[in-house]
Amino acid sequence: MNFFVTGTDTCVGKTLISCALLHGFAGQGFSVVGMKPVACDDADFSEDVRALLAASNVLASRGQINPYSFERAVAPHLAAKFVGVRISLERILQSYSELETQADVVVVEGAGGFRVPLNESQDSADLARQLKLPVILVVGMRLGCLNHALLTADAITRCGLKLAGWVANCVEGEMSMLNENIEALTERIKGPLLGVVPHYQTVPDAGVVAACLDLSLLKH
Catalytic residue IDs: 36
Where does residue 132 rank: exposed (0-12), middle (13-18), buried (19+ CB within 10 A)?
Answer: exposed
Q: Which of 181, 151, 157, 155 is nearest to 169 (CA)?
A: 181
Q: Which of 130, 46, 43 is nearest to 84 (CA)?
A: 43
